[in-house]
Amino acid sequence: MITVDRMRFVFYMYCGVASRFVTSLYVLKPLSWLASCFHGRPLFCQSMRKRVLVPELMDDPELCPKEHAKALRGLRRINAFSGTVDQLVREIVSVCERDRRRDSDEPVRILDLGCANGEIALGVARQLTGRVKAEVIGWDMSSTAIEQARSQQQKTKFSDTCCIRFEVMNVFEAVQAISNTSSTDRMQADEPTPSQSPLLSRFEGEFVHDVNCPFDIVYCTLFLHHFDDSSAIEVLRAMKRLARRAVLVDDLCRTSLGWWLAYLGCHLLSRSKVVHFDGPQSVRAALAPSEAMAIAAEAGMRDVAIRRHWPERFMMRWERTS
């Protein structure tokens, strides 16, 4: 005989099973998705105490152009989300306002070193339109990246106050060529210069107006962490050599929070496996702000200013005082 107590027991048990089933749809399914994201990976990010330099997939010259283009599209979304352009324009405008030596009729010459798909350079040129008369030049060693940059450039209209162009340039060879040149003091003394490589001749002939300091501002974004410490010092020396007024470096901070943001952001904003690997790896290879300042000092940059900004990045600024 079925009693009232037994009926209540069955009813409550049914409600409990049903509620757990419904709960699993909202809790277990997302958890299973999250677990699938970390399949074959450690649940917690690795130690951030030391830099871990591993070749990134996008740096491989043999990377399939289709995969490279897909990765660059993902990088475009990530840069837009990170607000990198806003941070750079803020610094560039600040430098221009303090630079009273510059003739206002001449454009500010700006170099984007390692410009990738040109999204940052195009954004900088777009935001400077109507504010600062500028000439923006983007260099990258990848012809695929430069093709995408030029394609985006054709879709964007700029006023007469802003000029932008992109050139295929092997930045690594260019840095080496610049580092091997004679010092600025020797060039200003009009002494004969040693024989120079064709690459440096291209530097001094096609791109620049002033051999000593061909650009007013030289900046790089998400570029410095690709180098070990000694090579990073040479990169900063080369940037200092090229810049008449200021050097800007925007890069990742090597923190656990930064790793998590890179991992989740790259998976949410891109389907590219290249981006999924390179994003978190870039954080592991990144410099801490204190390390970046120490490297800048080794490169001869004194009185460097550095500040942190979203999302776990730092902006380093050096200005020439003489």
Highest-confidence segment of 74-83, 119-128, 201-210 = 119-128
Residue 18 lies in a domain: no
What is the rounded average pLDDT of the residues 220-240?
Answer: 93
Residue 38 lies in a domain: no
Residue 289 lies in a domain: yes
Which residues are CB-contacts of 260 (< 8 A; sequence separation ≥ 6)?
Answer: 45
Residues in the chain: 322
Residue 27 lies in a domain: no
Max Cα separation, the chain? 112
Is residue 245 classed as helix, strand or coil in its secondary structure?
strand
Query: What whole-number distance in Å separates Cα of residue 250 and Cα of residue 1?
Result: 78
Q: Which of 143-157, 191-205, 280-294 has the lowest average pLDDT?
A: 191-205
**Assign residue 310 a region: left if phi > 0, alpha if psi is -120 to 50, beta otherwise?**
beta
Residue 86 lies in a domain: yes
Residue 201 lies in a domain: yes
Cα-Cα-Cα-Cα torsion 101, 242, 222, 273, nearest 10 degrees, comes to 140
Residue 10 lies in a domain: no
Query: What whole-number distance in Å separates Cα of residue 131 and Cα of residue 306?
Result: 24
DSSP 92-118: HHHHHHH-TTS-TTSPEEEEEET-TTS
CATH of the domain at 272: 3.40.50.150
210/184: higher pLDDT = 210
Residue 44 lies in a domain: no
Residue 64: φ, ψ to 5°: -55, 130
Q: Which domain holds residue 213?
A: 57-319
Question: What are the structure tokens assigned to 16, written together?
Answer: 């409990």
Assign 156 a pLDDT band (cuts: 50, 70, 90).
confident
Q: How many domains does the chain have?
A: 1
Which pTM value belongs to this model? 0.77
pLDDT of 92 higher than 50: yes
Assign 319 a pLDDT band (cuts: 50, 70, 90).
very high
Q: Is the separation of the CB atoms in 251 and 314 below 8 Å?
A: yes
pLDDT of 34 higher than 70: no
pLDDT of 5 higher than 60: no
Assign 177 a pLDDT band (cuts: 50, 70, 90).
low
Query: What whole-number distance in Å separates Cα of residue 252 and Cα of residue 309?
Result: 10
Query: What whole-number distance in Å separates Cα of residue 80 and Cα of residue 85?
Result: 8
Assign 214 a pLDDT band (cuts: 50, 70, 90).
confident
pLDDT digits (tens, 9 = 90+) for 102-112: 556 788 999 99
